[in-house]
Each structure stands twice: as C-alpha cells, then as structure tokens.
Amino acid sequence: MKYLATCVFAAVLGVSAASAQELAPLNSDTEADRMDWSQLEARFGAFKAPKERTRVGGVSKTLANEYWRSLGEGYKAFADRHGVEVVYQAAQDEGDQLGQLAMAENLITQGYDALLFSPQTDVNLQPALEVATDKGIPVINVNDAVIPQVAHYVGNVQKDNGVRAANWMIKAYPEGGKLAIIEGQAGVFAAGQRTAGFTETIEANGKFEIVASVPANWSRELAYNAAATIMQQHPDLKGFYANNDGMALGVVEAVKSVDQLGKVAVIGTDGISDAYASIRAGELTGTIDSFPVLTGEIAMEVALRLVNGDDIPRVVATPQALITSDNIDVFASTGEALRKAILSQ
C-alpha cells in the first residue's frame, strides 16, 4: 500500500517513469489524431475475429454508478459475440483511487492481451499505464478522466456535454437569467471540460449570470445540499447543469422540496436509466446521453483491433445526444436501432 501511495503521489507531482510513452499530454476533446466511431469499419475493414483465448481486462470507477455498470455490459456484449474472455472490475466507490490502482496492477500481472482503464482521476492509474506499456500491453482509456500519456482513448467530447446543456438553456430562456452548475470531482478532465463548455457558451450569450459553480464529487446527496443552498440564496434561479445524472437527480429532489418543479430546469449528463425515467415523469428536464453500452462495445472493438494490429488513431470519439421529453422515444432503443437513431441525428 505504501508503494501504491508513492506511485500516485509521484504521478501527481509529474514524476513519470522512464517507461512513460513520449507522447504529448492528451486532451481527448481537441487531439488532432482522432476519428469517429462510425468510421471504424470503413477505415480498417470488417472486424476480424481475434485469436483463440484472447483476454481483455477492464477496470472502472465504481459499479455503484449505473453508467459504469452499463459500460461493462457493452464490453461483455462485444466480447461475447467474438469469443473473447473479459474480466471487468471496479473500485468500491469513486474515491478509492488506491484500490482502483491495485486492481489495475493486478490485471497487468495476469497477462491480459489488452486493458481498458476508466480512471478515477487523470493521474491515479498512471503508474499502471507505465507498467503495461513496458510489457507491450495496449491500454485504452475509456471515459472520462484522461491519463495524460495514454496512447489510446475512447469516449465522447466532454466539453460538448456542457455546450449542449447551455444551448438548451439559451433557447429555453431567451431573456436570460440566473443559472448554476453542480460540478463533478475536482481534477477530473471530464468534470472540468463539461463545466467549461457550459460556462463559456453561457457567458458568450451575454444574457445569463452563473451565480454558483459548486463541486459535489459525483454525489447525489452533496448535489441535493448544494442545490438547496443555491436556491435559497437565489430564489429566481432559472436552471442547473449537473456534470452527471446522479447529481442531477439530487438537484431534482431539491427542486421538488421547494415546489419549483417545472419552474427550475435541471439538465444532467450520462443518460442513465433513472434519468430517462425522471424525464418521462416530467421531473428531470434532460440529460446529455453518452450511450455507455454502445461506448463499451466501441471500446472493446478498438482494443481488439489494436491486438489484431490495426493502427487506430489516438482518440476514437463516441456519440452523445441531448435527451428531453421531445426526443426520448427516439433514443430509448438499443442495438442497431439505437445506432441508426444516433447516426441520423
């Protein structure tokens, strides 16, 4: 445990091992070496079945959050279709950085052909990446924190989540007004980018005031408390943007508690089933769905293509869409129907 802590703190301080890849720090939203998920077959040909006994290991943030459970379902679905063994593990909660690192390092020792990492912060799995790189094991960073030196990333454009939420607010409230942001975990790439996308778009409009931008660390309870305080201080608030759906649903509960449902808009991020149910119930205003099951399938395909020798770009961008009561039925589908809905938007 002392060794693991030393590794994490070394990464935080920017101390990288000699094995670190000589790559520019990755910004997955702006990286030029990128492609869209929908072009994989057109660019690299039909997917070829991997060799027998191919094994892929995945480590994620936590299974307490539906998004990460759904991502694992996507991994398994694609792997099962192609006879690949997959092991998917996750930390106890979204704050167990050392536990997640221990899982990742354990997977490396077990000889998997590729690894799928969804780190809790941008740095906590850096030591595991370095070890895997030394051993020649492909590592794919799958949403939403970004390891700066990772060679391959699969996920959506994080900044665009906030931009889409902001554009909805601008259209819904042409006269402007007061808005608030419930942020995710400090130091996580996705949280920073989602917040920046929302803030920059709103400020460019010139008619709104962001009266609060408060981290709630992905916690529904903390989001509830923060939202309650913000509404008490700003009873004329028009809406909230939350960096994930769990926090957004906490905000909805706070809005309901002061009888402001339908008067204060709440938009979340991720597209979990509880968010869809809340939208159908007329409570949550919307969610920016990043389609975690499909993202998991795409990430597994990328991992296996890398094992097969395909020269995949550094970033493979996955889809996202703003879901409201106006289009929820279109995107509530699965499989090929969902892929068609996404491609037609």
User: How confident is the model over 193-209, as pLDDT tens digits?
Assistant: 999 999 999 999 999 99
Mean pLDDT over residues 284-296, rounded?
Answer: 97
Higher model confidence: residue 12 or residue 48? 48
Mean pLDDT over all residues of the chain? 93
Q: Give mean pLDDT, residues 66-73.
A: 97
Judged against a pLDDT cut of 60, whether residue 342 lies above it is answered with yes
Tokens of 49: 């079945």
Asked if residues 264 and 308 have their Cβ atoms less than 8 Å apart, the reply is no
Beta strands across the sheet bearing 315-317: 34-36, 315-317, 152-155, 139-142, 114-117, 55-60, 85-90
Question: Which pLDDT belongs to residue 115?
Answer: 98
AA letter at 319:
P
pTM higher than 0.85 for the full model? yes
Class of domain 2-8+16-154+292-318: alpha beta
Instruction: Decide: 264 and 237 in contact? Cβ < 8 Å.
Output: yes
**pLDDT computed for residue 20 by the predictor:** 43
Q: Where in the chain is the domain with CATH 3.40.50.2300?
A: 2-8+16-154+292-318, 158-289
CATH fold label, 158-289: Rossmann fold (3.40.50)
